[in-house]
Amino acid sequence: MYHLYNDIKMIVLYTRVSTLEQNPDRQLTNSKDYDYTLTDYCSGSIPLYERPKGSEVKKMIDSGTLKKLVIHDVTRIGRNTLDVLSIWTDLTHRGIVIECKNPTLRNINEDGTVDKFSELMLSILSTMSQFEKSLIRERQMEGIKIRKEKGLYGGRRIGTTDTTERFLKKKKSQDILNYLNKGTYSYDEISKILSVSTTTVTKVKKMSQMVKESSNNV
């Protein structure tokens, strides 16, 4: 175990293998060249600093004892592009070298200057991160749309008779139905009169029709 309070700047090789692999040998080439070799046996879905050995890396960073962090590839330290980008940028700002073996990358050159190729990589990672977030958001919206179409959004199937009947029995729903049944008021007018959204008016109308259709089919 390293000592957190000494003045020695250490070079650490960090590896991670999934619990299914159980063999970090591929990442341990020339491990004698490092002051410490830390290996986590866990899923890559766990954030680096929440892993047993990853948390030790974090302590070394915070204590100022880490000089260089060496990894086999960037997937060892991040769950996704945003994670990798965040860790890479943070270490660069702290003046800590992070060196990747595959592909060969490092954030800071031997003369202390920021590596230009590293800057390009960060730019690419940043763009990829935004793309990932856009894809995630798009998938979420698609999922919401599908759930709404099936009447499942919000955790309840709004098309069930029991839920529909309870909703239509509410005073606000009854007031809306009274105006709808008169047939002389538009959705916008009902919305303004009762201080409800047109979406609510539409929902009441739709549910009322569902109940009628259900009754006719019995």
Q: What is the pLDDT of residue 66?
A: 95
Print the domain residue range for 197: 161-217
Q: Is residue 176 part of a domain?
A: yes
Instruction: Determine, yes or no, domain membership for 185.
Output: yes
| Residue at a domain's end among 107, 130, 153 | 130
Spot the catalytic one: 18, 123, 186, 197: 18
Instruction: Please tell me the predicted confidence (pLDDT) of residue 85.
Output: 83
* Residue 114 confidence (pLDDT): 87
Tell me, what's the pLDDT at 27? 59
Residues 170 and 163: their CA atoms lie apart, in Å, by 11
Q: Tell how far CA 75 is from the center of its chain.
A: 16
Q: For residue 170, is it within any domain?
A: yes
**Which CATH number does the domain housing residue 16 bear?**
3.40.50.1390
In a domain, 206, yes or no: yes
Beta bridge partners of 17: 41
Report pTM.
0.54
Extract the tokens encoding 122: 């960060």
Give me the pLDDT at residue 58, please. 94
Domain count along the chain? 2
In this prediction, residue 5 carries a pLDDT of 38
From first to last of its 218 residues, what are the pLDDT tens digits of the chain?
A: 334 434 568 999 999 887 655 566 655 666 678 899 999 988 888 889 999 999 999 999 999 999 999 998 888 888 777 788 889 889 999 999 999 888 788 999 988 888 888 778 777 776 776 677 777 778 778 777 777 776 655 545 544 444 677 888 888 899 999 989 888 888 888 988 888 888 889 888 888 887 777 666 55
> Is the domain of 76 the same as that of 179?
no
pLDDT recorded at residue 158: 47
Please count the CA atoms within 13 angstroms of the CA of 106 that sit on its side-chain side. 15
Instruction: Specify whether 46 is located in the same domain as 109.
Output: yes
In this prediction, residue 62 carries a pLDDT of: 93
186 given a catalytic annotation: no
For residue 46, being part of any structural domain is answered with yes
**What's residue 12's pLDDT?**
94
Q: Are 166 and 70 in a shared domain?
A: no
pLDDT of residue 3: 40
